[in-house]
Structure 1
Amino acid sequence: MKVWVLRHGQAESHARSDAERELTQQGREEVLRSAAQLIGQPIQAIIASPYVRARQTAQLVREVLGFEPEIRTEAWLTPDSNPLTVVDRLDTADNVLLISHNPLVGSLIGLLQHGHLRAPQPMSTASLAELEADLPLAGGMTLNSVKNP
């Protein structure tokens, strides 16, 4: 199975709340460049944080890929979510794209790759990581690549 982890694109610096921050024009362009890296990949599900900038990122990716299924929105993908919870939720997913935020994305990638939270993967806005393994286990996945837009 493969797990792709995409950090949302650049977002505006101010909004009524962090959850309501929207993508900037530059953020949209970053996302489109990263989404192009996913063309032809066997993605079976797109799961995004409920925050506006993550949902906007997911929608742009969906449009670029012509992805038919609906995007799932999950509260366990917000910035301060526990990476261990995310790993637990991945046990039934095959070839999934997760769209979320730092610090979660960096910590999650580090956990999947190293089995601990002491070595988070640096992730810029719209950075895309690809991990692979038979099962999504902490410390059991190989980080194939990290691509920055």
Structure 2
Amino acid sequence: MTNSPDTPLSGEARLRQKRRRFIGWVAAMGAGFAILGFATGYSQAAAEGGRLPGWIIIPLIAAAVIGLVLFSASYFRRIDEVDLQDNLWSSLIGLYYYLAAFPAWHLLHMAGYVAEPSHWVLWGSTALVATAAYVARKLGLR
């Protein structure tokens, strides 16, 4: 009788169910963005090769930006205040990193010590620093 569908779930069971749904939602959104990213990259390469018109990339970029905005709005409605605080903290650390890394790299380049700043390296390293800060927060390293 305790396993009947009419039996209310315990708080722990509801939390597990909610977490499972959330992880499934994030995985589905990640798969959707991966497909959109593949389509955008393929379309750009095809446009450069003359197989597709160049304007094809514009609606794909617009779809990616709109999707990111909608994903973010939905994500922040789904998380609690602790997750929100961890996200804001890691975003701030990522911003601090970028605000220090770009000018330092640029000045070192102007002095002739290093190559010109690579925006993709900065983009990726900023994402890595923000992700590391988020993981550190989740592990309790505050």
TM-score (norm 2): 0.25
In our comparison, the structure showing a higher alpha carbon Rg is 2
Which fold has the larger relative contact order, with Cα–Cα distance below 8 Å and residues 6 or more apart in sequence?
A: 1
